[in-house]
Amino acid sequence: MKLDHTDISILRVLQQNGRISNADLAERISLSPSSCSRRLDILEKSGVVSGYYAQISHKALDYKMIVIVHISLTGQFAKTLSEFEAAVKKVPNILVCYLMSGEYDYILRVACKDLEDYERIHRDWLSALPHVVKIVSSFALREIIDRPHVII
């Protein structure tokens, strides 16, 4: 979908406040409420706006540690990848999982409460994932930025 200036304006406002009412959104971008609603509906149906959610602080839920985990698999056969990906989706502490090029097959971002909690996650979940031959963990010392989206 080709985005025009009005679409970009709608997205900018939604990035700042995803809970804004249609009337307020329309006013902020100088559109009628019905035109704004139609455009937003198109943005949602086309997948440009893929959802709305509350960004909850991990620390507020007592998840004080973020671990970056590099995973190597036995190979990159379609069945191997699909079995791994199906299993990794079931691990509740995994926030992000990327299929990678380069040295490792996957990189994960894992939230945990403390070192003992990560040991449990590693033992009970990560080590049990199918086709894993190597796990390398790096512990984040401090979060500098965590954007939920690209700033437009």
Domain 59-139: state its class: alpha beta
Determine the pLDDT at residue 56: 87
Q: Dihedral of the CA atoms 113, 119, 121, 126 (nearest 10)?
A: 140
Q: Residue ranges of the domains in the chain?
A: 5-45, 59-139
Domain 5-45: state its class: mainly alpha
- Flag whether the pTM goes above 0.85: no
Per-residue pLDDT of 72-114, as tens digits, reads 999 999 999 999 999 999 999 999 999 999 999 999 999 999 9
Is residue 110 within 8 A of residue 93, CB to CB? The reply is: yes
Q: Which is it for the CA torsion 117, 107, 18, 47, positive or negative? A: negative
Using CA atoms, how far apart are residues 51 and 62, in angstroms rounded to an integer? Answer: 26
Q: Which amino acid is at 70?
A: H
Per-residue pLDDT of 24-76, as tens digits, reads 999 999 999 999 999 999 999 999 999 998 888 888 999 999 999 999 999 99
Angle between helices 5-16 and 33-45 (to 10 degrees): 80
Using CA atoms, how far apart are residues 148 and 144, in angstroms rounded to an integer? Answer: 13
Per-residue pLDDT of 116-144, as tens digits, reads 999 999 999 999 999 999 999 999 999 99
